[in-house]
Structure 1
Amino acid sequence: MTGTRVLVLNSGSSSVKYQLIDMADESRPASGLVERIGEEGGTADHAAALRRVADELDGQGLGLDSPELAAIGHRVVHGGTRFTRPTLITDDVLAGIRDLVPLAPLHNPANITGIEVARRLRPDLPQVAVFDTAFHATIPEAAARYAVDAATADRYGIRRYGFHGTSHAYVSRATAALLGKDPAEVNVIVLHLGNGASASAVRGGVCVDTSMGLTPLEGLVMGTRSGDIDPAVVFHLERVAGLDTDEIDTLLNKKSGLLGLCGDNDMREIGRRMAEGDQAAQLAFDVYVHRLRRYVGAFTAVLGRVDAIAFTAGVGENSVAVRTAALLGLDNIGVTMDPVRNAVRGNGARVVSAPSSRVTVAVVPTDEELEIARDTYALACGTAGG
């Protein structure tokens, strides 16, 4: 195999994102997004969307039939307990991913469709599934298990899986590099704060705890998801409000979080409203930050020693206010922020804590596509690819 390029595909329910990455130098010859799949005025289906991706690449002289294309990497949301590392896709593997649809009914079906279409377009090419859950497969049973009936949990796969794994893997290693150390020497708390948000505790390059659980609903306050909540709220809404399961699912996943608290899920807009004295926006911000601080404290206890806290994704990388409020007054656990450093905006990884801070606080832009490309190239071509 002589090609050095990997096509990374992220097939969502109504969109396909792609990046073509040349692993010789990790450059990006092409990238794009096909949206509104199956919607009026949009692309008919995923097969048509993938053909459009192929056409866009052809138009740039980078077609799917190019000998430079070494492999295709697919983001797959849920790997369950079966798929705990990047996996070459076979018919059996695809069937296994399909078996996991009940654990990710909104995500895995779209991922599967993308894989099926790509395999039809290039049946000769190695294709690799990279799972959002895989990085978290190392968490110990004490962290993975819920305290529910064990037989029921085993029968229905009820346990903590965690998500955003490609981001947490990439950022934890990039944070170690920023410190000039090997990942095995560093304990990191990673805070992936986008519209979806999650935290992880990474000891020596290995994930030992994470905030998301059976689904991406658990954990931090998110754009539209509630995060941690008393399970009895579900029963209360059934009995008192008369809501059915689907209505509660929609409420907690799509109408809660920042959106539910103040009507906005964009942290920039919430910040603007706070500056104008909007109390609902202020409360939403305070609830969001309180949950963050709770997880920073909990994961500090889990790790015992924390060398770095890394902020990533849209909010984590761009919100000075969130970073400030989340870590304010935590000198007792070794965190001392530098307001000048923290206020500086930039595109690369950077330290925002004071030189005297025992725990380094960093902003580390995530790159999930590159993480998927590296995993795909290493497995398909037998090299780390940078």
Structure 2
Amino acid sequence: MPGSRALDSLGEPFEQPLGNADPTTALEAILDRLEGRLPQAVGHRIVHGGEHFTQAALIDDTVIAAIEQTSALAPLHNPANLAGVAATRRLFPDLPQVAVFDTAFHQTLPAQAYRYAVPEALYRDHAIRRYGFHGTSHAYVSRRADALSGLEGGGWLTAHLGNGCSTCAVWKGRSLDTSMGLTPLEGLVMGTRSGDVDPGLHAHLARQLGWTLERIDTLLNRESGLLGLSGLSNDMRELEAAEAEGHAGAALAVEVFCYRIAKSLAALSCALPRLDGLVFTGGIGENSPRVREQVVALLPHFGLQLNRTVNGETVRGREGRIDAGGRQLWVIPTDEEGQIATETCQRLKETIA
């Protein structure tokens, strides 16, 4: 664990480098900064809840066992999340702890959106279906868009764009479709992840190059995306700078990235009874006027009109409406930690009630 981010005893954010500390050491460092002020509860981000969890859950041994059973669907994430849970339970054995799942927000998807066209037995016996991720982010920014716009449950397309990227169609606070699927690899081009590829690519690489499944998995998750396309970087800031200097690979990476976002948003619009607007969030979504402008330009038939001046002035940490009329365009900085805290409080109130 390279470092720890938290709020100190005055409520101010701080960052403390900890080298290769384990979760227990990191939590002890946070506790020191709290100067004896114990939290009232602990909320944990858990990436994959499968079909077990449709909302946040008060953690007990049964919940932990269910998360462990789902770890095969998120082998890089759930075990690490559970290590954090175990460390926190050791340090705070008497505090209520709540698991907040990336996948829970998307459990409202209808079958037509979450089922793959594979034999029924794979879904029934092995839970092979689309789950979606970044649920806390899509939940937060869509509800914030409702509040800012004055709409009582609008129809929003949300684009969470960072090193990991996903889009979502939200109607009256409910996720109706999203770009990620069984794993976080499906969907958009990301920092190092390929997003959608022909499913036959695995067999082709195995036959033609003799690659193992592990090698192909590494390729698609760690060596592809913006990094693979550009041959330069997975950092959009570096790619935009290189594009301005004439780097062909960087220009291609940005073009593909934006096109695939627009293509996904257009497809997800089919899920909405009415489209009220589009929300950008995440590190790239909040910080790149270039990406926002190009994505909007690729959707001219959606009635989206960008205010280029306002779009260029919008910076991270500041909410802003960037349209020039027509359907609404928003930049809303995500607050996944705040959403986790909110869902933790709601779950505890329900438990007490």
Q: Give % identity.
A: 47
Look up the match of 1:150.
120
Aligned-pair CA distance for 1:21 = 9.2
How many positions carry a matched residue from both structures? 349
> 2: distance between equivalents of 1:33 and 1:139?
39
Alignment check: 8 A CA contact 2:169 2:272 kept: yes
> 2: distance between equivalents of 1:216 and 1:260?
17
Look up the match of 2:277.
308
Amino acid at match of 1:54: L
Q: Deviations over 1:4-37 (max 9, x none)?
A: xxxxxxxxxx356543499xxxx9345446555x
Q: Deviations over 1:272-309 (max 9, x none)?
A: 11111111111111111110110121122221421010
Gaps of 5+ in 1: 1-13, 37-41
Gaps of 5+ in 2: none
> 2: distance between equivalents of 1:48 and 1:89?
21
In the alignment, which of 180, 186, 192 is matched to residue 160 of structure 2?
192
Q: Tell me, what secondary structure is at the counterpart of 1:336?
A: strand
Residues 1:219 and 2:187 aligned together: yes
Residues 1:343 and 2:320 aligned together: no
Amino acid at match of 1:270: L
Look up the match of 2:31.
54
Alignment check: 8 A CA contact 2:314 2:320 kept: no
Aligned-pair CA distance for 1:79 = 0.3
Look up the match of 1:293.
262
Alignment check: 8 A CA contact 2:50 2:131 kept: yes
Amino acid at match of 2:296: L
In the alignment, which of 46, 59, 62 is matched to residue 76 of structure 1?
46
Aligned-pair CA distance for 1:348 = 1.9
Amino acid at match of 2:49: G
Look up the match of 1:11.
none
Look up the match of 1:134.
104
- TM-score of the aligned structures, taking structure 2 as reference length: 0.94
Q: Deviations over 1:63-115 (max 9, x none)?
A: 3xx35x21000000000000110000011111111111101100001111111
RMSD over aligned CA atoms reads 1.8
Alignment check: 8 A CA contact 1:34 1:49 kept: no
Q: How does 1:147-296 map to 2 (within 5 A)?
A: 147-182=117-152, 184=153, 186-262=154-230, 263-296=232-265
- Judged with a 3 Å threshold, the aligned counterparts in structure 2 of structure 1 residues 77 and 17 are, in CA distance, closer, same or farther, namely farther
Which consecutive aligned stretches of 4+ in structure 1 deviate over 6 angstroms post-superposition? Answer: none
Q: How does 1:100-111 map to 2 (within 5 A)?
A: 100-111=70-81
- Judged with a 3 Å threshold, the aligned counterparts in structure 2 of structure 1 residues 329 and 75 are, in CA distance, closer, same or farther, namely closer
- Judged with a 3 Å threshold, the aligned counterparts in structure 2 of structure 1 residues 34 and 76 are, in CA distance, closer, same or farther, namely farther
Q: Deviations over 1:189-224 (max 9, x none)?
A: 000000000000001110000000000000000000
Alignment check: 8 A CA contact 2:6 2:30 kept: no
> 2: distance between equivalents of 1:254 and 1:380?
38
- Judged with a 3 Å threshold, the aligned counterparts in structure 2 of structure 1 residues 329 and 220 are, in CA distance, closer, same or farther, namely closer
Q: Tell me, what secondary structure is at the counterpart of 1:130?
A: strand
> 2: distance between equivalents of 1:334 and 1:305?
13
- Judged with a 3 Å threshold, the aligned counterparts in structure 2 of structure 1 residues 76 and 374 are, in CA distance, closer, same or farther, namely same
> 1: distance between equivalents of 2:194 and 2:233?
14
Q: Deviations over 1:229-252 (max 9, x none)?
A: 111001111111111011111000
- Judged with a 3 Å threshold, the aligned counterparts in structure 2 of structure 1 residues 293 and 28 are, in CA distance, closer, same or farther, namely same
Q: Tell me, what secondary structure is at the counterpart of 2:100?
A: strand
Look up the match of 1:117.
87
> 1: distance between equivalents of 2:3 and 2:121?
38
Segment of structure 1 superposing worse, 373-382 or 98-107: 373-382
